[in-house]
Amino acid sequence: MKEKVLIADDDAGIAWVLDKFFREKGFEVIVARDGASAEKALREASVPLALVDINMPGKDGLTILKDAKKWEGFKTAVIIMTAEGTMKNAIEAMKRGAFDYVTKPIDLDELDVITARAVEDFHLRNEVSVLKERLKEKLAGETVFVGRTKVVERIFKTVGKVAPKDATVLVQGESGTGKELVARLIHANSLRCEGPFIAVNSAAVPGELMESELFGHEKGAFTGATETGRGKFELAGGGTLFLDEIGDMAAGLQAKLLRAVQEREFYRVGGKEPVRVDVRIIAATNQDLEKAVEEKRFREDLYYRLNVVTVTIPPLRERKDDIPLLAEHFFDKFAREMGIETRRLSKDAATELMTYPWPGNVRELENVLRRGVLLSPNTVLTPADIALPQRHYRKESIEDMISARLEPFLEKALSSGPSSSGRGGGRQELYDSVMPFMERPLIKLVLKKTRFNQIKASELLGINRNTLRKKIRDLKISKKDVKD
């Protein structure tokens, strides 16, 4: 396929010479005689190369160039032509993004060299663009936060809204819930995805070393500083800096972090000149920062700087319906890593996972499943294969079980909007909807144990017999319902 070139010049003689020159070079030539035609051709023809005169009827060449540079995906190498070889024109053309600048009469040998470079540059930028897209897809593909529950859907929606912006984000959640994964997900879907993602754990670095870790140091700043060292802020330039466990940061360092977050400017340890950096901040904590602020353990002004957008990740015990999906995800991951057949859970093993409280959250689930895959030859893992740690094991409390059952009612109420009565809750009042759900099984169980003896049942329940009768009637409980 022939390369295309646009010649935009109202001088018929120049246009004819360039048309002939490029056709002999094997180009397909498009000629425009005014600014409007030139701009239309640039928009529609997808040309690798364009020679545009500065002075044309309608829009001038520099204005066309300036506007075209704002178009999404515009990659054409634009060479500005002018009969006035002034310094001002040359500087202005290059400032506005011209590939090069030539004066009339045009030296065709020089133009030949410039053309070769321009076409090569166009194809290189196309290749880079394709590689960037592939990189973005790869990053997004590798950064997977698994889940289908309502709470996880809300996280996805928040990430989708905040990722393209440059706002500072605070990710909250217990250890092991996937705070860094969410931070990487935001980075992978942001305009900074081609830049670095640098993570630093505030709890893992000793307090006296943290300032140098974050901001770097000058040569001779302390014993052993034999050369200038860049900190995490500088290393994350053009990308994202993830500050994990921010609640554990020493009070003395919080003031310096505040300046860096607020001004995107800081001093290296031992430095006298400020260092400016273009970086996005995502912070994470497993602590209640509001309480830490109240207790004067965390600076209030820093908290508000970090808490522009908050993403809260629930513990695994509050989204247990995601456990089978997470197990499938981890089994596929292990199969790829180890080159083995993927595993699956037996029904009993799945039940075990669903009843365990998961104090270590998703991280603990991954470790338990990995150990089971490594130690068991079975492709279907049983409760014996997954070996949950008994010292932490406990059955769900009544409160946990009730909470799990109540969640669908609450989700429905939240999604249905305010009631017609104008009071809080869903379209059907939440309290009125939930209480029969709570009372009916309790009263049925007591009546069953007392063989429907309402006197004994009312005494056991601690309510008046007439009240019990009314509840039996309202809840539509019959002797048939409580038979063994």
The mean pLDDT value of the chain amounts to 85
**Class assignment of domain 402-482?**
mainly alpha
Q: Is the pLDDT of residue 139 over 60?
A: no
Per residue in 78-99, pLDDT tens?
999 888 766 677 778 888 888 8
CA dihedral (363, 282, 277, 92) in degrees, to 10, reads: 120
Per residue in 326-363, pLDDT tens?
999 999 989 988 888 999 999 999 999 998 999 999 99
Contacts of 224 (CB under 8 A, 6+ apart): none
Q: For the domain 317-392, what is the CATH code?
A: 1.10.8.60
High-pLDDT (> 90) share of the chain, %: 39
The CATH architecture one would assign to domain 147-314 is 3-Layer(aba) Sandwich (3.40)
Q: Tokens for 244, please give them.
A: 């994990």
Q: Please, which pLDDT band fits residue 420 given cuts at 50, 70 and 90?
A: very low
By DSSP bridging, strand 265-266 and strand 275-276 are antiparallel
Specify whether the CB–CB gap between 181 and 156 falls below 8 A: no
Alpha carbon distance 345, 328 (integer Å): 9
Q: Look at residue 317 in the predicted model and tell me its pLDDT.
A: 92
Phi and psi based region of residue 452 (left: phi greater than 0; alpha: psi -120 to 50; beta: remaining) = left
20-29, 144-153, 418-427: range with lowest mean pLDDT: 418-427
Q: Look at residue 425 in the predicted model and tell me its pLDDT.
A: 46
Domain ranges of the chain: 4-131, 147-314, 317-392, 402-482
By DSSP bridging, strand 240-244 and strand 265-266 are unpaired
Q: Is the pLDDT of residue 50 over 90?
A: yes
Question: Pick from 198, 197, 191: which is nearest to 132 by CA?
Answer: 191
C-alpha distances (whole Å) from 11 to each of 41, 101, 109, 295, 442 are: 18, 18, 21, 77, 93
CATH topology of domain 4-131: Rossmann fold (3.40.50)
3-state secondary structure of 105: coil
High-pLDDT (> 70) share of the chain, %: 86
Q: What's this model's pTM, rounded to 2 decimal places?
A: 0.57
Specify whether the CB–CB gap between 367 and 326 falls below 8 A: no
Q: Is the pLDDT of residue 227 over 50?
A: yes
* CA atoms in the 13 A half-sphere facing the CB of 96: 20
Q: Tokens for 303, please give them.
A: 């908290």
Higher pLDDT, 243 or 433: 243
Q: Look at residue 21 in the predicted model and tell me its pLDDT.
A: 94
Question: What number of H helices and E strands is found in the chain?
Answer: 20, 14
Q: Look at residue 7 in the predicted model and tell me its pLDDT.
A: 93
Q: Is the pLDDT of residue 422 over 50?
A: no
Going 308 to 314 to 319 to 324, the CA torsion angle's sign is: positive
3-state secondary structure of 282: strand
Per residue in 168-183, pLDDT tens?
999 999 999 999 999 9
Q: How far is CA 20 from the centre of its chain?
A: 52
Higher pLDDT, 9 or 140: 9
Burial profile 222-245: b = 16 or more Cβ within 10 angstroms, e = fewer: eeebeeebebbbbebbebbbbbbb
Domains 4-131 and 147-314 share a fold: yes
Going 180 to 182 to 185 to 189, the CA torsion angle's sign is: negative
Question: Pick from 371, 348, 367, 351: which is nearest to 359 by CA?
Answer: 367
Q: Is the pLDDT of residue 118 over 50?
A: yes
Q: Look at residue 300 in the predicted model and tell me its pLDDT.
A: 94
Going 281 to 286 to 288 to 293, the CA torsion angle's sign is: negative
The 8-class DSSP code of residue 174 comes to: -
Q: Is the pLDDT of residue 424 over 70?
A: no
